[in-house]
Structure 1
Amino acid sequence: MPRAIRLYVHYVDAFNTVIGKIMMYVIFVLMAILLLAAIGRNVFNWSLLWTVETAQFTMTGYYLVGGAYSLLLNSHVRMDLLYGSWSRRKQGVTDALTDTLLIFYLVVLLIGAVSSIDYALEYDQVSRSAWGPPMAPIKIIMGTGILLMLLQSISTFFKDLGIAFNRPIVEENTHE
């Protein structure tokens, strides 16, 4: 593979590894929000309108921004009916084809996300809940997660293409 592709794969994988490891700790933020909600409601009889929606936003950011790292680690769910018995090269060809579909899907999703972010910023969109927080921050986080997933999908495509042509770009399981 050309040096530019190898550099792309290296830097995208390294960046998503850092972001993914940081995002692992967001689960503790989510736990703190839910704990505060439970204690506030049951011990102090507080009505914390913001906690449920904040927990939802936190979870959304957690799985969308962390999705690229999950793809990097190859830990997404895969239907393995025949795949496991195929040669590594045939797996690479199949993965490269499915990566192409994933990239197309993520491009469409990113176009929609950019449009949604633009709308939220232009019209100061707020949630329709009783709390009514602005929607732009979570939409920006979601768009960022989709972008990271797209970049990682392209990196994965290049790696699978290398396997399909018996010229692997990186060693297997280097990011675990």
Structure 2
Amino acid sequence: MQALLKLSRMIDALTERVGKATIWLVLIVTLISAVNAFVRYAVNYSSNGLLEIQWYLFSAIFLLSAGYTLMRNEHVRIDVVSGHFSPRVLAWIDIVGTLFFLAPMAIAVLYLSWPIFVNSYLNNEYSSNAGGLIIWPVRGLVPVGFALLIVQGVSELIKRIAFLKGLIDDPNAKPNAPSAEEELAKAIKQQRGESV
């Protein structure tokens, strides 16, 4: 079990890196959106490419941070119901949910999205909009995002089993860590302090 917990920590470290990198995409997409709106209304110029890059970045944020959201226990739960269960019952619910719902759904999406990405890549698919962008990179985000979610699901499964065996503390306990927004603000302040 210790080897599996080490694997879980390695997966968590990868997920943490991907999640923290993805946080920066929120700032980038916000800036692009603001510039796009300003240019459209100030100089009456519009670009399909700018609109599409916003959609692509939003897709990246959603898909690449799914595993990070799962790791941080920020995914949707029915707290009215789950708040009445003991930590052990919640761990069992998570195990059953991961094995019978999360894993099959994520594997199915990964399996079905891969050929679409490969076809798009081989055909060098572009948007049908005038001035649109190449499509295969955003199609590639779907299998990558779901692969990361599957890997993080394995880590969460390991942690729940280890908790039930008494080897680790409750993985569902909410840590007193800063929110994603607070982490982004801190990173911006640090960046500004280094460049001054």
Give me the TM-score of the superposition, normalised by structure 2. 0.81
Q: Is the 8 A contact 2:95 2:160 kept in 1?
A: yes
Query: Structure 2 CA distance, aligned partners of 1:166 and 1:127?
Result: 53
Match of 1:95 in 2: 94
Aligned match of 2:65: 66
Question: How do 1:117-128 and structure 2 match up within 5 A?
Answer: 117-128=117-128
Q: SS state of the match for residue 121, structure 2? A: helix
Q: Are the counterparts in 1 of residues 126 and 132 from structure 2 also a CA contact under 8 Å?
A: yes
1:147 maps onto 2:147 in alignment: yes
Residue pair 2:52, 2:132 contacting (<8 A) in 1 also:
no
1:6 paired with 2:5, answer yes
Task: Say which SS state the counterpart of residue 73 (structure 2) adopts.
Answer: coil
| Contact 1:73/1:175 (<8 A) preserved | no
Distance in 2 between residues matched to 1:167 and 1:116, nearest whole Å: 42
- Going from structure 1 to structure 2, the CA distance change for 1:10 and 1:159 (only over 3 Å counts) comes to same
Distance between the aligned counterparts of 1:11 and 1:117, measured in 2?
Answer: 28
Change (3 A) 1:24 1:175: farther
Q: Give structure 2 stretches of 5+ with no counterpart.
A: 178-196
Superposition map of 1:26-175 within 5 A: 26-100=25-99, 101-168=101-168, 172-173=173-174
Larger mean Cα displacement after TM superposition, 75-84 or 49-58: 75-84
Task: Return the letter of the residue paired with 1:8.
Answer: L
Report the CA distance shift for 1:65/1:175 in structure 2 as closer, same or farther (over 3 A). Answer: farther
Tell whether 2:41 aligns with 1:20: no
What is the CA distance between 1:95 and its match in structure 2?
0.8
The answer to whether the Cα contact below 8 Å between 1:40 and 1:48 also exists between their aligned partners in 2 is no
Q: CA deviation at 1:118?
A: 0.9
Q: CA deviation at 1:7?
A: 1.7
TM-score by length of 1: 0.90
Matched pairs, number: 175
Deviation at 1:152, TM superposition (A): 0.5
Q: 159-168 or 149-158, which moves further after superposition? A: 159-168
2 CA distance for matches of 1:121 and 1:97? Answer: 36
Q: Which amino acid aligns with 2:139?
A: K
Distance (whole Å) between structure 2 residues aligned to residue 34 and residue 75 of structure 1: 26
Of residues 161-170 and 110-119 in structure 1, the stretch that sits farther from structure 2 once superposed is 161-170
Q: Retained in 1: the 8 A contact 2:114–2:143?
A: yes
CA contact (8 A) 1:30 1:59 kept: yes
Using the TM superposition, name which of 111-120 and 125-134 deviates more: 125-134
* Cα distance change, pair 124–38 in 1 and its aligned pair in 2 (3 A): same
SS of the equivalent of 1:132 reads coil
